[in-house]
Structure 1
Amino acid sequence: MGSPRNGRSSRRRRWASLLGATALAVTAGGALACPAGAATDVDFATHCIPPAIAGLPPIDGTTTAKITVDDTSPEVGDTVTVTYTVVTAAAANPTAIDLPADIMTPTGKVTLGGAQTGDVTVAGPRKNDPVPGKAAFPSFSMTGTFTVTSPDAITLAPGDYNIHTSYILELDTVCTVTNPPAPVSETITAADNPPANTRNLGLGSASGAPGDPVTFTGGGFTPGATVTVAGRSGSGPTADRTTVTAGSSGGISGSLVVNDLTTTGVVAYEGSAWTAELGTPPAAYVVIDDTPVPEGSQRLTATVKAGDLSMAQTGDSVTMSTVDFGSGDRSTGDLNTVTVKDYRGGPAGWSLTGKVTDFSGPGAKIDAGKLSWTPACTTKAGSPSTCQAGSPGVVGGAGATLASTPDGTLTGGEFTASAGLSLDVPAFTPPGAYAGVLTLTLT
């Protein structure tokens, strides 16, 4: 695992698409639409082993899953966030007992192929709808990250996954790909680039009980350097740590005993403390608390539920100012305010981009490259991330960034983006109304 190159705005694949329309109208005026994207669902044969206590034989069925990423065109050295969604699990609730909401903790792996091979560990939040006895498990998602170390096409396929339930008993339903690898669900194309940081870390497992050792392997470190491998809880370190020496090729391997129940990941780094320049991003890891509750005691569990990345706008039309025939003046206006809410609670930032079509009118058109904007963005107090406005300039058909937040250890918050609009109307443009379509995409 490694950190993204400093100063680079990631070209991210959309996590979600939010729809809206803003008409820009000019006499002598723009519709904001965010078309939905779709990931590729794949089916694969799966062998699931129910918990022994259920007394059930293994289940051979079919899993439907999809893999999405936040960046389909990274460069070598970039960090890509991967989301593994099990749309339909091959297994079901192994007991006749109704399972309540928010007792499932899924973990799994995504298999890389093509220009880069290996597994990406992924983990999901303890979040689910109620599951009736013997009913199918609901859809769930797991996320993790990996560092791009090789240029060219990299394929991503769903791998083995585990469904852990914490209700009355701590139970695991382990599902493996019958004929690995599973079909490819996503492909990214990486560009060659001398990486600022190619340090990477992979874990042998994405979960374990307190005190369990987790094996790790990594690469990209300075040969002979002392490398610290440590637990991470949100944006801060835990006391769980070990040190190893990087080999002659910069590789590391070993095991780390994880005790802290709040652990959300594991990092590796050179130096006295973790930094983005000399360390890896967190490899997802979940500690499953299986400590028996003493007699006469009760375990109290509170869950922080992950949310979504969403966008809303204050209106769906903008009427820009009128210009006189033959003047060659600019038609101006203000983009409807856009509010972005990031409640995912993960390491990924976001980017809000826009592009515009040509402005069509009575027997003529105004080229899309004539529309410029001056973006602005504000951050709601208390938000973990800080919003950055895009650069003033041409919007055009190629598009431009309205606002964004960077990747970080913990991101999120509420943000308000806006822009002043200016359409350069060529002199002697035939009189009439001209309209274009401005598309905003939140990724």
Structure 2
Amino acid sequence: MASGTRRHRWASVLAVTALAVAGGGALAAPADAASQQVSFPTHCIPPAVAGIPPIDGTTTAKIAVDKATPKVGDTVTVTYTVVSPAASNPTDIALPADIMTPSGKVTLGGAQSGSVTVTGPKKNDPVAGKAPFPSFSMTGTFTVTAPGAITLSPGDYNIHTSYILELDTPCTVTNPPAPVSETVTAGDNTPVNNRAITLGSASGKPGDSVTVQGSNFTPGAAVTLAGRSGSTQTADTATVTADAQGGFSGSLTVKDKTTSGVVAYEGAAYSTDKGAGPAAYTVVDDTPVPPGSQKLTTTVKAGTLSMSQAGDSVQLSAVDFGKDGTSQGALQTVTVQDFRGGPAGWSLTGKVTDFTAPGGKIDAGKLSWTPSCATKAGSPSTCQAGSAGTVGLSGATLASTPDGTLTGGEFTVDAGLSLSVPAFTPAGSYAGVLTLTLT
């Protein structure tokens, strides 16, 4: 999609203030500040042998994860800890240590739905007759399938005891889902394509050769150079090999008079994942005019791909200390002008640093956006907004236009910003840097 002939970088500082509750002394964030202990009504059914009716009580639980900002495709380990079960030993018989085996479910919501099966080891302290069951933990894993904020809520659980008899005490969430205890923010794992090409000249006569230079290709890869007529590849091709740094310099003979651009790619066919270009190229038709005729020519000068911003800072809304909160704001409007007049579209991507303050940090993966894009009337291209979701350290697409026979125009790009601030994040003014790259 991108021509690769020009790259623009623009940085905007995003600031957010977390408000502390009144009180003296320094504030420190617990290691698992992102998760919170929750309570929810539970319906438990004691074993029939106990001869007692179902128990409608309250379960207190907490969920923790090993990765707070995973990528799509990553495996996340979930630990579901029942701090205070709603059920108790259903018999008058004291239960010895290590005869309880718990199992349960964790409910996923937000960007990914479903449930996670969790199980615990056969491990417990002794339980007196009719005494409450002790706290226990269960673990399981799930694979991240979608970017964005994924919520985790405690689900149903079962307490199995193996002493004299094999007994089960299943407990279900009365009004599912239970409150959210943990949220992970998943980033898109799609590799960024930084391949780029430049041409030695922008035009030539039929049969002329044009020098093509490339960068950031796979070292040692075979790279195909090809002419393009709009979105269709022509018969003009050549092959070069990328050096140890992923660069190359090759020559392509262009015969097809309809050529409007040149691309370079790895593999059997051009793709936006492993290709670069098209870079604009025009074949100058040198066919002689008939006798008694005059050929009239003029030139439309190609311009550049550029962007500007309405400002370089954004103040997000404040959140309260001690509570999970969302700090919101809006990206300063970005104006993109594509006056190249060739076949290449463009892509505007962004990535953000961690938000830091003295004594505290908010992970970059906690920032998400909802992009929007408008196209000025008369523009050959149509702007496409990127998907709503996490920005993070690896970045995401804010807006783009596709390749085409003729591209260009003026566009305005905006985005709603949302920063998920974990509970008990130390009070202070946090700042991160969002860098936008236009290619």
Query: Normalised by the size of structure 2, how large is the TM-score?
Result: 0.46
> Of Structure 1 and Structure 2, which has the larger fraction of its residues in strand?
2
- The two structures have a TM-score, normalised by structure 1, of 0.46
- Pair member with larger Rg: 2
